[in-house]
Amino acid sequence: MEMECCSYMLPLVASCFFFLCSFFHALVATRRRSGDVCCGPRHAPRSHPVLGCLVEFYRNRRRLLDWYTGLLAASPSQTVVVERLGARRTVVTANPANVEHLLKANFGNYPKGKPFTEVLGDLLGGGIFNADGEAWRAQRKLVSHEFTARALREKVGAALEAEARARLVPALDAAAAGGGEVDVQELLRQFAFNVICRVSLGAEPRDEAALPLSRLAAAFDAAAAIIARRGAAPVAAVWKAKRALGVGSERRLREEVEVIHDAITELVHRGRRRTHPGRRSRDDLVSRMAAAGYGDEAIRDMVISFVMAGRDTTSSALTWFFWLMTRHRDVEGEVLGEIESASRACSVGVDLDGSRRMRVLHAALCETMRLYPPVAWDSKHAAGADVLPDGTRVERGDRVTYFPYGMGRMEAIWGADAGEFRPRRWLAPPQDDEGVSPFKFPVFQGGPRTCLGKEMAFLQMKFVASAVLRRFELRAVDEGRSPVFVPLLTAHMAGGLKVTVRRRRRQQEGTYQSTVACRTS
């Protein structure tokens, strides 16, 4: 009886399968003719019935940045539409007009959306970088106090000075004295992590003795890597099944997130204990959120978002900046000349006013982030149907991705030398990134969600660049190697940046020692 049933069912299943294949093939062909999908051989990945471009996506899964960049460069509109089995229809664009439409002109139609928040939710919870609507607006208003000029001068400036004196400069000085190697990327990540903990949590030096921040930083690294692989997975159902079963990478993610949650919650509790009746109210993020009535979980989620953004973005940009300085000594010389004139005599780095005057360094940092953006791509999900300025149709629920990494390499945007490191492009009118459309250079987003921490990020990067380059000359251990850009939640350099360190001549003559004496006397 079972054999007879199978003999009748198999032809029926086969017929249904071929019908579906024919249907999808006709549907894709119709869309090609209508111009809704850029599916010409030069403009989009090869597509198959039912599977869509899943085969091509999987084949290029380890080089998605270059794959998408090539597709976008070949497209007349710098936009492609990608459809594949197991994923939402995705519009990928490097067109500045489209980016402005997403981030500003039709902002309300392009929230992060449930698919995005689901991927990041286990790590970021309801924090600002994973929130939409009123929850996002309320958090943004609260966080804005972290980025006033007063906060940058007092809190951020003090944290930078303290961490540079305690760890950054001594670590490089020891490497110079001992002739050993140091991983600049790891050093910068730890530096940025400690600074953001001081600023957002009100953390004090003694906190590290009771709670090793290195373990917390390692947990952030592991969790971010797994979350990023979720977002790039060819079929989302795979990671969701692993999460439901608690196996493989999803089990590891759960364990690392538990470490993060426990550690941040403990730091939040310490912040609360430092604020009690009879003492002057503190002005850190934790204290303000507590005063506004937020519970421990909401504060924890906000702090996690803050730490992720503050730690990884600036350290990523600075790692690539220092590598580029080892390859472009002429630019380094220009930057050094500006640092000498802008830095205060009794400061490790540079203060807020001095950083605002540093146009050459600013240009070099912008050019670094144009080629190596800390966030390689960002996605929104359409709340309703729409048509982008270049004519691309967007359906409700579509994922719409703008692509800073690819945009930085588009000759249509930056000219024939788009692939070259040329900071002077930022010094010609319109001057620096303030005169360049944020939708052409969306490293800090644009529109209502423009990054609140932009000036803080530049202050931190300029401070570190000043503190390091004034004192030390860095040389890449493997000067012939072209580092690999790894685009996780925030990008990093594969294998780190191993360098040897030499004191600059004036450091050998004792200038740094006299500067420290000046500061502490």
| pLDDT one-digit tens code per residue, 371-427 | 999 999 999 999 999 999 999 999 999 999 999 999 999 999 999 999 999 999 999
Q: Flag whether 5 is marked binding.
A: no
Residue 11: what pLDDT? 37
Please give the mean pLDDT across all residues of the chain. 82
Q: How far apart are CA 405 and CA 164, in angstroms?
A: 30
At residue 48, φ and ψ (nearest 5 deg) are -125, 155
Segment 355-359 long-range contacts (CB within 8 Å, at least 24 positions apart): 355/458, 355/459, 355/462, 355/463, 358/462, 359/427, 359/431, 359/432
Q: How far apart are CA 102 and CA 461, in angstroms?
A: 28
Q: What is the CATH number of domain 53-503?
A: 1.10.630.10
Which H or E run contains 25?
Answer: helix 2-34
Q: How far apart are CA 460 and CA 313, in angstroms?
A: 11
Confidence of residue 321 (pLDDT cuts 50, 70, 90): very high
* Alpha carbon separation from 377 to 64, 129, 344, 393, 491 (Å, rounded): 11, 14, 37, 20, 10
Q: How far apart are CA 463 and CA 351, in angstroms?
A: 7
Residue 439: what pLDDT? 96
Of 80-89, 130-139, 340-349, 475-484, which range is least confident?
Answer: 340-349
* Per-residue pLDDT at 510 exceeds 80: no
* Per-residue pLDDT at 237 exceeds 50: yes
More confident residue, 428 or 325: 325
* Per-residue pLDDT at 32 exceeds 50: no
Query: Which sequence spans correspond to the domains of the chain?
Result: 53-503
Residue 43: what pLDDT? 56
| pLDDT one-digit tens code per residue, 16-27 | 433 344 344 434
Average pLDDT over every residue of 250-272: 87
Residue 194: what pLDDT? 85
- As a whole-number percent, the residues of the chain with pLDDT over 90 amount to 46
Start-to-end Cα distance in the chain: 96
Average pLDDT over every residue of 269-296: 70
Average pLDDT over every residue of 482-505: 91
Confidence of residue 429 (pLDDT cuts 50, 70, 90): low
* Per-residue pLDDT at 103 exceeds 90: yes
